[in-house]
Structure 1
Amino acid sequence: MSYLVATALDCFSLFAPMVLGREDYLGVDVGIPGHEGHDVINIQGMYPIHEVERQFINEHGLEAFWKSDWEPTDVLRRPAI
């Protein structure tokens, strides 16, 4: 089952994943056995945001926005800024 939702969110922010612990998303080795350490990736969370929030992040930094009162999983939310 899939859903299509119309939303005003038109940008994305990348940050740590909400559902993984730090040890599970940093330095993940995806190489074949015997080649440890050659193919290491970091997993990122992708969060939809409003254009005005993107501008705020550019001016004040991601940490200031991340600590504001917003719900990253609510795609129908109003801008937090």
Structure 2
Amino acid sequence: MARPGDADRFARFVDRLSSIVGAEPDIHEVEPRAIDDGEVFALAFVDVPEPGFVTGVTYGLSPWQRLHERPVRELCITMRSTGSAWPKVPARVVAALRGLCPFDPGMVIGYKEPYVPPSGLSSLVLAPILPVPALSDGIDVTAPGGDTDDLVELVAVYPVWPSERDAVRAEGLRVVLDSDWDPYDAARAAVL
């Protein structure tokens, strides 16, 4: 079973993820809420899925969940941006809420202030629809010769306004997904 500090599993995750998206990530460590829970990383891919976008994938949630026999997931965000702040947002959330939140698709997570100013987006909706379709099957980090499968499901993270967060809580995920919005635009106006 993977331990939070399993360097081989992390290397397999990075290698297999890089192979799927066709790029190498910039790797940023994010300080966890509790050191004993293990490391948390933000893997930032510039110009993925296309030029002018940035995609961030977490690492640190799945080993913790596997150790505690929960669904094995990591989070993925894509924004129209060239900066490094947005790819770190899901990792900051994992670092703060790992062990307190299941990170299930359909959930919304609020924050007291905007995640990346000057954008006013201060909540996240978790969805099963990934912005990088090649990642939809997850990341297989099974060790060579391993006796147990180790498939990491990726859950999409979309920044939303508090009003949109409240609408998802009241009416479900489809209310946002079916609205006329650009989920990759950090400067967008609220649609609900």
Worse-matched range after superposition: 5-14 or 65-74: 5-14
Equivalent in the alignment of 2:156: 45
Equivalent in the alignment of 2:186: 75
Aligned-partner residue type, residue 149 of structure 2: H
Name the structure where strand makes up a greater proportion of residues.
Answer: 2
Structure 1 residue 46: deviation in Å?
1.2
CA-to-aligned-CA distance 1:24-62 (integer Å, 9 cap, x gap): 423532121222652121112211100100000001100
Structure 2 unmatched ranges of 5 or more: 1-81, 86-116
1 or 2 for the larger relative contact order (CA 8 Å, sep ≥6)?
A: 1
Structure 1 unmatched ranges of 5 or more: none
Name the structure where helix makes up a greater proportion of residues.
Answer: 2
Change (3 A) 1:2 1:26: closer
Q: What TM-score comes out, normalization by structure 2 length? A: 0.37
Root-mean-square deviation (Å): 2.2
SS at structure 1 position matched to 2:163: helix
Change (3 A) 1:67 1:36: farther
Distance, in Å, in 2 between the alignment partners of 1:31 and 1:39 is 5
Aligned-partner residue type, residue 174 of structure 2: E
Change (3 A) 1:3 1:38: closer
Equivalent in the alignment of 1:34: 145
Identity %: 27
Change (3 A) 1:63 1:2: closer
Q: Does 1:63 align with 2:174?
A: yes
Distance, in Å, in 1 between the alignment partners of 2:153 and 2:147 is 15
Distance, in Å, in 2 between the alignment partners of 1:55 and 1:10 is 12
Distance, in Å, in 2 between the alignment partners of 1:35 and 1:80 is 47
